[in-house]
Structure 1
Amino acid sequence: MARVRKFTTEELFQATKQGLLQFGYDSFTFSLLAEQLEVSRGTLYKYYENKEELITDYMLFEMNLFLQELREIHHHDSFDEQFDFLFDLIFKNEEIHQLIAMGNQINTNISNKANENKKELDRLHLEMYQILSGFIQNGKKEGQLKSELQDSLLLGIIFQTVAIPNHSRIPKDQWVRSIKDIIRHGMFIN
């Protein structure tokens, strides 16, 4: 039996993140989490009735941190500065894509708390989209982005770059610079 141990919310959420990324949503369990934290499963049930409540709480925590940083995009005047800021932020938080995808798998019918958390997550996603739409509109207004391209397509391309595998193990800063260059200038010589 695991020994009785206290843990902070940050430790709990860090272990939750590691478990989700390692095992995925379906295989993530309180047993695995308890083992990671060196506590009993019962200890976790004192805080959360089920994994859905824990995961949605954790995702709210992550999304609020991400949005707090994303809002700083407004501190940059030009589209180029905003573009660099956004890319640095995306690659700093490269796991957020996987976690958002897992969030869509959560069965929120299991508890009222998970359902309320999911509604708040949806609201935060909408806020994120509005900030990013403003970024795209700024790029179109400054003549940096083609006005005929759909906002969702441009955002999709930008956000999907974190999923490109770096099989050659190019240093991260060089990798990010190269992706930025391809998006800014294309990959064709002419």
Structure 2
Amino acid sequence: MVARIARKEEYAGACRIYLYNEVIVIARERKFTTDDLFRETGHVLLAQGYEGFTFSILAERLQVSRGALYKYYDNKDELISDFMIHEMDRFLAELREIDNCPDFESRFRYLLDLIFKRRTIHQLISSVQQIPRSGNAKVKANLARLDQLHLDMYARLGSFVGQGRREGKLRSHLPDGLVLGFIFQSIMIPNHSGIPYEEWVAAIEDIIRHGIMA
């Protein structure tokens, strides 16, 4: 026997159906945007790392079922690599703005501000490097795209160092990798004293420029 529906009410998050003898509440899947998905993916990746990243944890943060995530991604490698392309595109878009700075001094300060603003990018890159290269076609294509984005980033950073040498602002005997590594590793120094941001960045800049010796 098929139950007859007396009436049906829809409201946020669910559908309530009134049968003649009972009420059935059918949950409707919560919607999320790409921004929601990538924001929470970043949070989970930074907190759990690649190995600890699961769709279960992500789904809980988004307040959706795991099935809702599998509608868009077959596995976490597809999602994480998609997310990192998004992050690298954003980082490179901001890095390109360095070309608007007139000289090395202003470019140096712009780069320092940028890497502090995007200080999680290196941790995220480290997580992505753990993705197996033997993944499906989607993952392989994403990793190839990320390889190209990394090359673009290093080319722009190399151009930054080259300008510093041409203007006589950098010591000629220091390897490019050491110069860039020293600048980028500065963001990893913990600010245990809670020094205000501007003061902290200014102190880091002073050390990079002049060292720690009096």
TM-score, structure 1 as length reference: 0.96
Runs of 4+ in 1 over 2 A off after TM superposition: none
For the pair 1:173 / 2:198, whether they are aligned, the reply is yes
2:73 aligns with 48
For 1:108 and 1:30, locate their aligned partners in 2 and report how far apart those are by CA, in whole Å: 20
2:143 aligned partner, one-letter code: K
Query: For the aligned residues, what is the CA RMSD?
Result: 1.3
Distance of 2:135 and 2:166 partners within structure 1? 45
In the alignment, structure 1 residue 154 sits paired with structure 2 residue 179: yes
**Structure 1 stretches of 5 or more lacking a match?**
none
Pairing 1:18-167 to 2, within 5 Å after superposition: 18-167=43-192
Query: Contact 1:3 / 1:39 at 8 angstroms: preserved in 2?
Result: no
The percentage of aligned residue pairs carrying the same residue is 54
* CA offsets 1:19-57 (integer angstroms, 9 cap, x no match): 011111101100000111011101100000000000000
Greater displacement, 46-55 / 179-188 = 179-188
Structure 1: distance between partners of 2:133 and 2:175: 32
Distance 1:120 1:161 in 2: 28
Quote the offset at 1:148 in angstroms. 1.1
Q: Kindly name which structure, 1 or 2, has the bigger radius of gyration based on alpha carbons.
A: 2
For 2:102, the aligned partner's letter is D
Comparing both chains, which one has the higher relative contact order based on Cα–Cα distances under 8 Å and sequence gaps of 6 or more? Answer: 1
| Shift of residue 3, structure 1, vs aligned partner | 5.4
Normalised by the length of structure 2, the TM-score is 0.86
Task: From the two aligned structures, give the one with the greater helix fraction.
Answer: 1
Structure 1 residues 24, 3: closer, same or farther in 2, change over 3 A?
farther
Paired with 2:181 and 2:32, the residues of 1 have a C-alpha distance of 37
